[in-house]
Amino acid sequence: MSSTLAIFRRELVARRDLLLVAAAAAVIAILMPLLPGLGAYDPADVRDVSSSALALALGWGLAIGLGAAIFGSDLSAGRLGFFFARPVKGLAVWVGRSAAALALVFATEVLVVLPALLGGGSAGSSLGVADGWPLAIAFLGVPVLLFLAAHAASVMVRARTAWLFLDLVGIVVAGVVGWVTLRPLLWMGAESASWVIAGALLAALVFALVTGGAVATVAGRCDLRRTHAALSITLWSVLAVTIGAVGAYAGWLQSFKPADVDRVELLSVSPTGEWVEAFGSAPGRLDVRCRFLISTTDDRWLALPHQALWSWKTIVFSIDGRHAAWLAQGRGEEPRAIRYVALDGLELETVSTKILVPPGTGFELSPDGTQMAFVEDEILSVYELTGERLVTAVRLPEDLHGSTMFFLDGDTIRLYGRASEREGHAIRIADVRVPSGEIVRTGEIAGPPDRFWTAFDSGVENMVIGWRAEGPDHGMRNMYNARSGEFIRTLAGGFPYLLSNGRMATLREEDDGREWLIVESLDGAQHTEYDLGVGVEAKLGGEALPGELVVLRLADPSVWSEGRRADLIDLDAGSWRPVAVGVDRVRAGFRWMSGAIGTSFWFVDQPAADRLLTDRTGALVRWDPDTGDLIHIVGGRN
């Protein structure tokens, strides 16, 4: 028998009385349902829960106790001399004793849980924990970590040499580095990557503790002070290397280029369609998503800062598509600085400004991208970007506080606010002149519902309000004049796509599954219907060519996996022509805004943007109407 095995056996036999405690606990767990006050519960459940809880409590407690005893107190009491006076390797002593301690811990857990398991229970479900990984971690992983940590801690505390300073510093630094490594992944909502990195950090810790403990015993032998020195040196140097490796890996996970991306999630498109903002995931990077600004016409790109998942906002493009701006990262309640980039140049250079926007507040760019504006409660501020100069700050009246706001043109900002309850929550419409700051009220919409969405056409001439209320009014859609608020008419049919040339398109599905495309003029005078087929799950793209609307339908309704086909319908002639097969829509063609009147979106004439599609492989592609090719932009590896 090898000496490691002999030591393992000896230690196990010497401590086998602990298993009696485990047996007693198992008995207690079995008898638990008999306790007064627990009669109301299902006895099997009570047994399951109490045996699992006792098993964990006993196992974890034993892990800590044994960890502290067999190398801390035994060492300082001189009891290790017995082993070192025998012809056994120092490593055999450490491995044998540690393995025996852990075997006891696991045996204890099994013993306590056994009666309940035999009775048909499940250790995991009784704790509200899924069987599998979390169970293994609780019953196996945690005790190992507790044992090793108690082992190290007891040596450090008992020896009390100067190395304790290094230990304290090491603990703090390791904790900080670990948190700094993990936080961005948690922040960006990369769940799987977070688990992997957290697991890797713990594995690094366990590895360092194992190495440290073993080296400490082999090098320190019976001398407590030398053991501590060896432990500290080994533990922190190994941990530095391993955590460094994990940190490097975590960093690698988060640094990739558009060329590496396979899965693309489009966030926003510039009005000219020349640039897209998108999340990209890359193979081998788990579920980490990086945010990019990617050119659809050449291979220029810019990495955008990671944002916390819960405070995330898209990029703002100027209407001429030549500027993009966003908010820098910030912490908590700090205001964020504006950063922008000119999209024309060969090299994209981010410019940081000192213009600060409160967190959670959106901003808008002027059509030529030279100015930006935002509303914070009662103040509307307009800045000039390049000079970082405040152009005007306007104090808004109460019904315009927190308005939904955007630039109509370079000199005018349109505001939509909400009046008080007393005034029926009417939507108040006003224009603000820049730079004078003069407020001009243009109208109001009376009697809107409490919750609704708004849609504007590209010229901001018409707006649609859709009811989001409980009750019979839910789903009602009304069209109003976007400037005066005058009611125009109620719309029938589905969600309205406000197209150019005063046209509107909606989809309608009948009871038999047949789907129709309805194109009508905004005043309702012209009305054309197109039969799209049965069960085709039609979706509308945008006006990829002026006057021509993209319609996406399932190629073969009976074979869903075939994907969709895109066709272009000429809204004047009523003729169809094919675009591509095996493609899908991307969300382009409108922008989101938020403010006093809730979530609104604004349809912008952006034919170039409307020619963006995703192909079968999930890549973002651009349809070239001249050649009919789908030109690859980003993503789509298999």
Partner 1 sequence: MNDRAVVELDGLTVRYGRLTAVDNVSLVVPNGLVYALLGRNGSGKSSTVRCLLGQRRASAGGARIFGLDAWRDRRRVMARVGVVPENPDVPPTTTAERVERFMVSVTPRWNGQEFFSRLEGFGVPRRQRFDRLSKGQQRQFALALALSSSPDLLILDDPTLGLDAVARRDLYEELIGDLADRGTTVFLTTHDLAGIEGIADRVGVLQDGSLLVDEPVETLKARFCRLIWSETPEVSSERIDAGLQHLDVIASGAAGGATGAVVGGFSEIGFGRFRQEAPVEVTWIEPLSLEEIFIALCGDERGGRS
Contact 408, 602 (CB under 8 A): no
- The total of other beta-carbon atoms located within 10 Å of residue 554's CB is 19
Positions 88 through 127 that interact with partner 1 (CB under 8 A): 88-89
Between residue 170 and residue 229, which ones bind partner 1 under the rule CB under 8 A? 221-223, 226
Is residue 274 left, alpha or beta, with left meaning phi > 0 and alpha meaning psi from -120 to 50? alpha
Q: State the minimum distance, in angstroms, from the CB of residue 10 to partner 1.
A: 5
> Min. distance of Cβ 194 from partner 1 in angstroms?
45
Instruction: State in angstroms the smallest separation of the CB of 291 from partner 1.
Output: 57
Strand order in the sheet with 576-585: 539-540, 548-554, 564-570, 576-585, 612-614, 620-623, 630-634
Report the residue number, 222 or 342, with the smaller CB distance to partner 1: 222
The count of other CB atoms within 10 Å of the CB of residue 347 is: 6
Contact flag: residue 3 with partner 1 (CB under 8 A) = yes
Q: Which positions from 63 through 82 interact with partner 1, judged by CB under 8 A?
A: 78-82
Which residue lies nearer to partner 1 by CB, 15 or 616? Answer: 15
Among 10, 300, 401, 483, binds partner 1 (CB under 8 A): 10
Question: Which candidate, 191, 367, 181, places its Cα nearest to that of 287?
Answer: 191
| Separation in Å, CA 151 to CA 140, 175, 460, 633 | 17, 19, 71, 56
Indicate whether 257 belongs to the interface with partner 1 (CB under 8 A). no
Locate the DSSP E strands across 460-575.
462-467, 477-481, 487-491, 497-498, 503-509, 514-521, 527-534, 539-540, 548-554, 564-570
Output the smallest distance, CB 240 to partner 1, in A: 26
- Tell me the window of 2-10, 44-52, 427-435, 543-551 that interacts with partner 1 (CB under 8 A): 2-10
Cβ at position 83, least distance to partner 1 in Å: 9
Measured CA to CA, the distance from residue 102 to residue 122 in angstroms comes to 23
Residue closer to partner 1 by CB (options 76, 599) is 76
- Examine residue 165 and tell whether it contacts partner 1 (CB under 8 A): no
Contact pattern from residue 422 through residue 441 relative to partner 1, giving x for each residue in contact according to CB under 8 A and a dash for the rest: --------------------
Which residues have CB under 8 Å from 107's CB, separation 6+?
Answer: 19, 22
Which of 36, 37, 40, 85 touches partner 1 (CB under 8 A)?
A: 85
| 20 near partner 1, rule: CB under 8 A | no
Q: Are 295 and 251 in contact (CB under 8 A)?
A: no
Report CA dihedral (616, 619, 620, 622) to the nearest 10 degrees.
-60
Nearest to partner 1 of 226, 587 (CB atom): 226
The CA distance from 372 to 65, in Å, is 63
Q: How far is the CB of 222 from partner 1 (least distance, A)?
A: 4
The reply on whether position 14 binds partner 1 by CB under 8 A is: yes
What's the number of CA atoms in the CB half-sphere (13 Å) around residue 384? 9
Residue with Cβ nearer partner 1 (85 or 559): 85
Site residues (CB under 8 A) for partner 1?
1, 3, 5-7, 9-10, 13-14, 78-82, 84-89, 221-223, 226
